[in-house]
């Protein structure tokens, strides 16, 4: 493709999946207990979208990758230090909540506005990548709304593979119901792709890529605009961590139908 693609990856940060999360009511609404102290990582689905963006850019000379991240900038700085050595990108930071309680419509509004503000943005070359799912904002609606706000009607969700052709068109391998895949052909940009897990390995660390990225990361963090995304007055009556239950009974020669009835009764109870 002449001139390559302009690939924008939308992603936030989430607490390390190994942490125990406990919701609380904070000064501004729902939050996580000790959220500022929890170690954070880039959302796993957005992480894969970033790998795919870098791989596509490498295959199409003239392409460029941006990472638009909505997160508390102090925590985002720690995470970016880690991912900056993996793939080349330009960071666009938005200072906002990362606990997952923010409304997806508010998040989409902030992300779309940040994308629209990219200098020299050419929508005829624009591909918007993001996670099909999310470890914090798993509503499954954020990326779709980003696309709608940008006027992008060609959207693909649950994408595992993208193959670009020299004329700018591309083939998409997309998950559908029943454990099957659907192969679609798109005439070209603009398009939005919500990535699943795909098949790319994690890129190795490259100190030279890291140094090149970090030259733009700190200025981007300093220019991060506060986001208006919030919980919009959402509240909850109570919250508790799941409790373990184990009720074992050993029986012999019980009909399958009787076992099924007992299991159904136990679940209902």
Q: What is the pLDDT of residues 56-101, one digit of tens each?
A: 999 999 999 999 998 888 888 888 888 888 899 999 999 887 766 7
Question: What residue segments make up the domains of the chain, in order of their start?
Answer: 6-226
Integer Cα distance of 59 and 268 in angstroms? 54
At 157-195, the pLDDT tens digits run: 989 999 999 888 999 999 888 888 899 999 988 999 999
What pLDDT is stored for residue 116 in this prediction?
A: 94
Distance of alpha carbon 139 from its chain centroid, rounded?
11
Considering the entire predicted model, what is its pTM?
A: 0.80
What pLDDT is stored for residue 50 in this prediction?
A: 92
Helices 104-116, 142-149: inter-axial angle, 10-degree rounding:
40
What is the rounded average pLDDT of the residues 15-20? 71
* Closest of 94, 14, 47, 66 to residue 213, by C-alpha: 66
What does pLDDT average to over the chain? 84
**What length does the chain have?**
269
Dig out the tokens for 247 from the structure: 């009720």
Integer Cα distance of 198 and 235 in angstroms? 36
Long-range contacts of residues 55-60, Cβ cutoff 8 Å, at least 24 apart = 55/200, 56/5, 56/7, 56/127, 56/162, 56/164, 57/4, 57/5, 57/7, 57/88, 59/164, 60/1, 60/4, 60/5, 60/164
What pLDDT is stored for residue 234 in this prediction?
A: 63
What is the rounded average pLDDT of the residues 214-226? 86
The sign one gets for the Cα dihedral 67, 15, 33, 222 is negative
What pLDDT is stored for residue 21 in this prediction?
A: 72
Position 262 pLDDT exceeds 80: yes
Position 12 pLDDT exceeds 80: yes
**CATH code at 6-226:** 3.40.50.620
What pLDDT is stored for residue 231 in this prediction?
A: 58
What is the rounded average pLDDT of the residues 214-239? 76
What pLDDT is stored for residue 239 in this prediction?
A: 61
Any idea which residue has 């909540």 for tokens? 97
What pLDDT is stored for residue 33 in this prediction?
A: 73
């Amino acid at each position: 493709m002449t001139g390559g693609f302009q690939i924008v990856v939308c992603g936030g940060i989430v607490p390390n999946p190994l942490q125990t999360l406990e919701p609380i009511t904070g000064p501004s609404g729902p939050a996580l207990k000790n959220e500022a102290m929890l170690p954070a990582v880039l959302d796993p689905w957005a992480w894969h979208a970033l790998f795919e963006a870098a791989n596509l850019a490498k295959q199409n000379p003239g392409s460029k990758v941006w990472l638009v991240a909505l997160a508390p900038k102090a925590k985002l700085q720690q995470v970016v230090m880690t991912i900056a050595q993996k793939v080349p990108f330009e960071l666009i930071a938005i200072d906002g909540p990362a606990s997952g309680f923010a409304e997806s419509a508010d998040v989409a509004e902030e992300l779309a506005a940040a994308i629209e503000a990219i200098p020299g943005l050419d929508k005829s070359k624009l591909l918007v990548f993001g996670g099909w799912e999310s470890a914090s904002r798993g509503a499954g609606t954020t990326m779709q709304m980003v696309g709608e706000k940008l006027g992008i009607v060609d959207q693909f969700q649950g994408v595992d593979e993208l193959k670009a052709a020299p004329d700018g068109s591309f083939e998409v391998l997309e998950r559908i119901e029943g454990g099957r895949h659907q192969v679609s052909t798109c005439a070209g940009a603009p398009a939005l792709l919500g990535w699943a897990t795909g098949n790319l390995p994690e890129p190795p660390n490259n100190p030279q890529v890291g140094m090149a990225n970090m030259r733009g990361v700190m200025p981007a963090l300093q220019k991060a605009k506060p986001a208006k995304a919030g919980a919009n007055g959402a509240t909850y009556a109570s919250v508790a961590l799941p409790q373990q239950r184990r009720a074992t009974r050993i029986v012999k020669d019980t009909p399958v139908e009787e076992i099924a009835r007992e299991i159904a009764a136990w679940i209902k109870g």
